[in-house]
Structure 1
Amino acid sequence: MSAALVGAAVVGASVLGSAPASALNWKCTSSSSTIDDAGYSGPWGDNWDFTVKNCVARSGGYVYAKATVSWDAPPWYSGTDLSETFDSAHFRLYLNHSDAGPDTVLLRKDFNIQPALAAMNGSGSGNGSWTSSTIKKSVGSKSAYADGALRLNWDEDGKGVRQYDFKGTGSV
């Protein structure tokens, strides 16, 4: 067999050995938190209700993670320009390995969710959701789990980025 043909066979085997993300068996955990708009101190209620669904899956020696963030903004935010509610808003998705001491971060990715938060769902209701792309890491036989955090920098609060952690998945 020629070297090119052997190389093509090896590449083909590795491509066929990885399941597409849509065909994976996802293990998910959802958690919720009510978060105060730290940049607002007026007379109206200003709490945001966030729910994060972190998901993890394994295919061979690869582990995949994705997350969905959904929210319900305060009712009086409906129809207002929310582009300046946050100086920045990100969701940080982690792939971690459980260790005896602190867990090891295998991979992390920050996603800018500020435009999604500002746009809501287009209905003016204050509700919305956003789903990350899938991240992937070669881990061999190590177990891993997905974890996530909102990283919000509220406009005009002077505190910088605040991190709000959500529950991780079980290990796969």
Structure 2
Amino acid sequence: MIKDIPEDKRNTFAAIGLLTVCWASAEYALDFIIRCVHERYGGSQIREAPPVSFKGKPPYLREAFANHPDLAGYLPQLNEFLEEAWQIAEQRHWCIHGSIDLRADASTFPISKIIHGKEHRQDTREFTARQIELLAGRASALSVNLIFFGIQTVRLMPKEEANKLLRELLRKYSAALPEDGPF
């Protein structure tokens, strides 16, 4: 089946798959931060259970960070990460939940999505495989940044362990990490 799909469309499908995996990694890192906040930093007083859908995660984290003295100073950095996550999530939603018009014979592919709400309508945006690949790269970078942010702020893992893991990773690429490490 895959071999029967024209290469340009195959590249688009591959890019959407890559975006799916990279976004899952970023949201997984976000979920770990949320879990730490919920269990260690009073998040359970904001809500009985942490948010599950992405839409509820930014407001929850903003409130939790703003209300905890050890986290409040990190709110500007958190907001940057959440803004990046929101932008990626919005475009990802189109690529994952939209319908690609496979009749298009161009470098861009129209993706249509039904917009629910007061005005029930259909909208269409155009994407290229390269745009989607770049979005996947942003999601991957966000994942790494969220993990580092979580280590620094909510003790996602002990800093000594994080330094050890990072040192091992960098050693594979013949790079060095200062003895005291970034954490």
| Shorter-normalised TM range | under 0.3
Normalised TM-score (structure 1): 0.24
Higher strand share: 1
Please identify which structure carries the higher helix content.
2
Provide the TM-score with structure 2 as the length reference: 0.24
Indicate the structure whose relative CO is greater, using CA pairs within 8 Å and at least 6 residues apart: 2
